[in-house]
Amino acid sequence: MRFTIRTRLGGLLAFATLTVALGGAACSSTQPQPAPAAPAAAPAPLTSAERAAWYQACWGHFNAKAWDQFKACYADGIESEQIDSGRPVVKGVDAVLASTKELTTAFPDIRGSGQLILVNGDTLVSVYVLNGTHTGPLTGADGQSLPPTSKPIGYLQAHWVQTDATGNKAVKEAFYADSGTMMAQLGVNPAPARPVMISATTSPSVAIAGGSPAEQRNADAFKAQMAAFNSHDAKAASADNAPDAVFHELAAPKDSSAKESVAGLVAMFKAFPDATLVPASVWGAGDYVVAVGRFQGTNTGPFPMMGVKKATGKAVGVGFLEIARFENGKVKEDWLFYNGMAFASQLGLMPK
């Protein structure tokens, strides 16, 4: 039907155009024709600082449930993914809005509080705290619905966004969060998890990539750490960590120190002798370095930190987003985001 309508409209338009053209030719000798209007100038791309402000405004629309303004933050062809959640990629602005409203049905008071925003050209990465109360049905990736528990949630998630050239429309986005933490806070997952977190900040810190030598050095140092990880050299992988560094592995029940981080790497290499990080991108912004990629490995040894007493022989592959804050050339703080529930499920520790 649409093709038929468009064909007829096209024919009418062609006829009207031809009529105007002929009329113009007949009159051209007696009266001058106006000059064609100049094409509208393309809008100037937003600066990096303006992009950070635009991004915060979009979160404000989400918090206010101002859906018309929220929709305007997305390009028509937006692709939105919740990494390793089991949910398919959502395509199209209307589908993204429907998915968002599904979340707000389960948590009507949900809101995000910004902690950190990093801007690198058309790419933004953020860390936000999500808080809400489970007072509506929550639909899982399997289509099953969890009745309201009346329990609060509060956890950190990372958000990766790719904008169009103007910088005020998201064309792709990906969320990195641990489903197990949220389900534990709702009382459904018995595994140890982080307690409900409440944001202590009033506005996020913002860092903008400037291409400085210091940013490049930090990014190179982080790449070297990842290469050492792939060589299973725990000492080299930790060489650029400050002695008092703090590591926030968001799928783990608590933070770890620099010493505990090294012990964790040693345990990882024993449990997954082929453990590999496959980075997709690594870049710096101010004092921060962002790495996005995928972890893969095969469990052929005990892994006590996840309750694996005997090797499962199963392969694991999960996406990750990691942010490191450097100070005087050393990693002072690190945030690692991945879906720990997906990791455990692939090991056969819980239903997929």
pLDDT tens digits, 246-284: 999 999 999 999 999 999 999 999 999 999 999 999 999
Using the predicted structure, report yes or no on whether residue 290 has a pLDDT greater than 80: yes
pLDDT at 248: 98
pLDDT at 268: 97
Q: How many CB atoms lie within 10 A of CB 141?
A: 12
What are the angstrom distances between the C-alpha of 127 and each of 45, 156, 231? Answer: 24, 7, 30
The proportion of the chain whose per-residue pLDDT surpasses 90, expressed as a percent, equals 82
Neighbouring-strand partners of residue 321: 292, 337
Using the predicted structure, report yes or no on whether residue 199 has a pLDDT greater than 60: yes
pLDDT at 305: 86
For the residues 203-209, what does the mean pLDDT come to? 97
pLDDT band at 2 (very low <50, low <70, confident <90, very high): very low
pLDDT at 43: 77
For the residues 195-210, what does the mean pLDDT come to? 94
pLDDT band at 32 (very low <50, low <70, confident <90, very high): low
Using the predicted structure, report yes or no on whether residue 23 has a pLDDT greater than 90: no
pTM of the model: 0.87
Mean pLDDT, the chain, integer:
90
- Structural contact between residues 302 and 310, judged by C-beta atoms closer than 8 angstroms: yes
What does the pLDDT look like over 51-82, one tens digit per residue?
999 999 999 999 999 999 999 999 999 999 99
d(CA 133, CA 128): 17
**Domains of the chain with bracketed CATH:** 48-139+148-208 (3.10.450.50), 213-346 (3.10.450.50)
What does the pLDDT look like over 157-192, one tens digit per residue?
999 999 999 999 999 999 999 999 999 999 999 999
pLDDT at 146: 95
What does the pLDDT look like over 305-319, one tens digit per residue?
888 999 999 999 999
